[in-house]
Amino acid sequence: MTLTTVNAGMLDTQAQYNGFKNRIINGAMVIDQRNAGASVTPASGAYTLDRWQYEASQASKFTVQQNAGSVTPPAGFKNYLGMTVASAVSVGAGDYFILEQRLEGLNVYDLSWGTASASSVTLSFWVRSSLTGTFSGGLANSDYSRAYVFSYTINAANTWEQKTITIAGDTTGTWLTTNGIGIQLRLSLGAGSTYSASAGSWGTTVAWNVTGGVSLVGTNGATFYITGVQLEKGSTATSFDYRPYGTELALCQRYYWKILQGTGEPYGITGYMIAGNAVWGQFCLPVTMRATPTITVYGTWAVSNTGQPTIRGASASNFLVQIVATTTGIATSYPNTSDDIIDASIEL
């Protein structure tokens, strides 16, 4: 494992678009479909900014927000993901607090992990924290039977620094190359001894925290900001793979899609029906999703001569919304307020 530190402003951040060099999606933290920049206190397993999941053994210990604290991002970036400790914790052996992204196997199959031809990867990112010292994270396969713990040092408080970590590819274990979880990247915000190990080698211990590392969650009000996250093939960190906004949004929408209601009736269902009969409205998803998603209708829709809508016939590319007439005549249903939405989710 190799590690370098670069202070903000010293790295050439010239924009580069080079296909899918960066296997991380939304590494520049530009997409936030769920929360639109609002601060949230996520439950364990909840997604924050697109593709970034939070997991924790105790509830209500962090707030998460795009551009939390309104600090200036590093040169070449507009957004970052910010985490703030809302309630300090004395971390026990079985505790864990994690920011994670799960990479689809179809996007990492060329790394050939689990074989003698396994390729090295290089992880790089910009980070800023109110705490200094040794921080940590890890990579793992889908069932945690193979794991690698890495460490990095934050040298100056409240200062953007770039970290670069090169990791030799794992030549053993099972690494999915399907639409399941190919690689899990976990950044530790604090973890107990159960999930801690020495850094620098592949093993079978379920761990993502370096023994003796900084526990961010142990300090009330502590902050952790991150952007420019890149995981690329090879042993050298290259310039960040800037992708067009529309491309990044489409990559996120493979896993999550949300339609928002504004003022008026921009979408809805209407039709003339015999009492007890139904009418359907078809929604075509903007991209084909990873698999058939879970479709959820939120809020109390405005209805006339019908009940609340239900979902029928979902697939990875479209779904139907159904309304049933209570009496013969025109029946309508449409979102009533800005809280009335439909979303589709098939996260890893």
User: Please, is 236 exposed, middle or buried when counting C-beta atoms within 10 Å of its C-beta (0-12, 13-18, 19+)?
Assistant: exposed
- Mean pLDDT of the residues in the chain: 92
pLDDT given for residue 134 in this prediction: 98
Q: What is the pLDDT of residues 210-219, one digit of tens each?
A: 999 999 999 9
pLDDT given for residue 19 in this prediction: 64
Q: Label residue 57 by pLDDT band (50, 70, 90).
A: very high
Please state the rounded mean pLDDT for residues 271-283.
90
Q: Label residue 340 by pLDDT band (50, 70, 90).
A: confident
* Fold: same for 2-253 and 257-345: no
The class of domain 257-345 in CATH terms is mainly beta
Q: What is the pLDDT of residues 99-134, one digit of tens each?
A: 999 999 999 999 999 999 999 999 999 999 999 999
- Residue 6, pLDDT above cutoff 90: no
**Are the C-beta atoms of residues 344 and 289 closer than 8 Å to each other?**
yes
The superfamily (CATH) of domain 2-253 is Galactose-binding domain-like (2.60.120.260)
- List b or e across 113-150, with b for residues whose CB sees 16 or more CB atoms inside 10 angstroms: bbeeebeebbbbbbbbbbbeeebbbbbbbbeeebbbbb
Say how many C-beta atoms besides its own lie within 10 A of residue 7's C-beta.
Answer: 13
Q: Label residue 262 by pLDDT band (50, 70, 90).
A: low
Domain ranges in the chain? 2-253, 257-345
pLDDT given for residue 237 in this prediction: 98
Please state the rounded mean pLDDT for residues 168-175.
98
Please state the rounded mean pLDDT for residues 271-292.
93
